[in-house]
Structure 1
Amino acid sequence: MARRKKKYDVITKYLKNNGGSQVTLTFTQFDELLFPANGLPKTARITLDWWTNDYKHPEKGAYAWINAKYEVVYVNLEKEYAVFRPLVKSTWLERN
């Protein structure tokens, strides 16, 4: 059975193919490369809440970058770009 495709899987795929380095994407890149049919959601352009690293709200994009093992570290709504960084596994988690 094929896995159901999710709305933001294209972000996951893009980040996974990045090679594990920091990525900066402009909102225009999201529109043209990742979401050519619909563009980035309007809420992503006007509120930082959409960019929160919160896996519990799949209507936002967080599950896409978290599934790729990335996190958002900076968003500039005025200049329209977001910076993603690979997640780093905490050593204190390994000791417990």
Structure 2
Amino acid sequence: MKYLFLLGAIMAEIAGAIATRQSNGFSKFWPSCIAVLGVVGAYFLLSLSLKNGMPLGVAYGIWAALGITLLALFGAFFFNEPLSVIQVAGIILIVGGVLALELGKTE
């Protein structure tokens, strides 16, 4: 269940970030509402993941890595934002670091 809550937190954060981009500096009502609800929802779902036994460092690492990766890909494919080879390498390093956190934990 803790991973399901974490996945929900990641999706809510991604929705909030995309809506923030679409809000035009919070001058558009609906994208601004979605942005705020996405961020608040993300932290609420993260808290449920932590309450269900997910270690904070692992949860935040997974959240950050997947959020960065998915948002970078979304930006590249839907907003035509460029991704350089160095940026792609950075994303790979981030994901590798999170895998090291997850695989290296002791329970």
**TM-score, length basis structure 2:** 0.29
Q: Which has the larger radius of gyration?
A: 2
**TM-score, length basis structure 1:** 0.31
